A and B are shown apart, each in its own frame.
Chain A
Amino acid sequence: MPCEHSQLELHGYLDGELDAMGAANFEKHLEDCPDCKRVLAAEESLRSALQNAALYERAPESLRKNLLGTPEKKVTPIQPGRVSGFAWQWLAAAAVLFVAVTVGWGVWQRSQSPSSMQLVAASLVDAHLRSLQPGHLTDVESTDQHTVKPWFDGRLDFAPPVRDFSTDGFPLLGGRLDVVQGRTVAALVYGRRKHIVNVFVEKGPPAEGWSGFGSLQGYHWLAWQKDGFSFFAVSDVSAPDLNQLEQLCLSQ
């Protein structure tokens, strides 16, 4: 009979959904439960197999185009009123068709050029890559949030929230200033196993395109807001890992 913890807590632990106390308790339990250890290893390999298999299927272009409105030849019926001359109807139909085509064309054009979200994502992924060059990762290197936070004082016109999540597997490594699309932002650096996560922080509501999540060149990114700050995390860790970091940041 398998250990009962393997059926619930183990999954909460795997998904980063246990609170710090719960996770610590489970880790303690894990030390002397070979059952759970075995199941956890199997679950982890299932997860990485699922993620490596690239099963996610993105919406086809045709769907996107349909939704953004293709100019339609058939227009909605119009009410020409009493003066219903033949030419009048044609003129009105032509006018409506013209509007439909113009609006449709505008929307279509917009759908062809990269969205502001993609542009923001591209520049933040670039910033992430730059940070991985030797010597570029951190301006202030410390695992202590009380060292990193004051460092930003006087360098930015806001004090970014800095927290260490090492008990949840995201140790704070340090911080630096970065420039994204001409704006100076705070970059907080976290570790995740052997990987680096950059969390870019800006004050105020998110700038245009600073939203959503996705992946680009093999890097995942995820944006969120809290307490008047906008956050944008970029890393090569898995999307669920970024999600966990978001949850940690949103909690408390």
Chain B
Amino acid sequence: MGHPLVFYIGSARERTDVLEGEDRARFEAIVLPHLDAAFNLARWLLRSRGDAEDVAQEALLRAYRAFGTYRSGNPRAWLLQIVRNACFTWLRQNRMGEEFTEFDETTMPQESENPEALAIANSNREQLSRALEALPPAFREILVLRELEGCSYKEIAEVTSRPIGTVMSGLARARLQLRNALSQPQPKEARRAV
């Protein structure tokens, strides 16, 4: 009979805008394969799996509603852009002071005299994870997109709405800051402040 399918999201307390069956299949085929990417980005931006699950779900719902306007292009970048915007909105509303700040163009961290490649190479998952979470969100975002998600500069520029040049310099600073953090002696009982 060609009834439009209703796509239930979350607790299905709301009926989302209705997509015809074909569009829905396209959404499942084109956008949903990037669900891991969406969750991973949200998890690192929000530093919490639970919050990431909520926000990623919300972002997928938004993507689903906006899918009618998506025609072509890079679906992963399209989705990740929605996810990161949802994350920064959520941070603004829920964690004062942790919201997004632009790269500070004036303060380039100094290359330490001897970047200890060895200390970095020996870092374990917990140290790396802690150091990554301690970075400002804009730095964390760019590193997660590049190193974990394997995005090209062009994709990162698309996701973060920044020029490619800014992506490149942002990566340079983010990496330097992370390396500096890792080559310092690791405090035994360091805990992140939330």
Contacts and interface: CB of A to CB of B under 8 A. Distances in A.
Contacts of B6: 76, 100
A212 B179 contact: no
Interface residues of A, number: 55
Contacts of B29: 211
Interface in B5-21: 5-13, 15
Contacts of B179: 42-43, 46
B152 A60 contact: no
Interface stretch (A138-146, A163-171, A239-247): A239-247
Nearest to A239: B150
A88 to B, nearest CB: 20
A47 interface: yes
Given A42-B115, A46-B175, A59-B56, A12 B168 contact: yes
Interface in B154-193: 168-169, 171-172, 175, 178-179, 182
Given A15-B171, A53-B129, A76-B15, A104 B8 contact: yes
Interface of A: 2, 6-8, 10-12, 15, 17, 38-39, 41-51, 53-60, 62-64, 66-70, 72, 74, 76, 100, 103-104, 117, 211-214, 238-240, 242-243, 247
Interface of B: 5-13, 15, 29, 32-36, 38-40, 43-44, 49, 53, 56-57, 60, 108, 111, 115-118, 120-125, 128-129, 132, 143, 146-153, 168-169, 171-172, 175, 178-179, 182
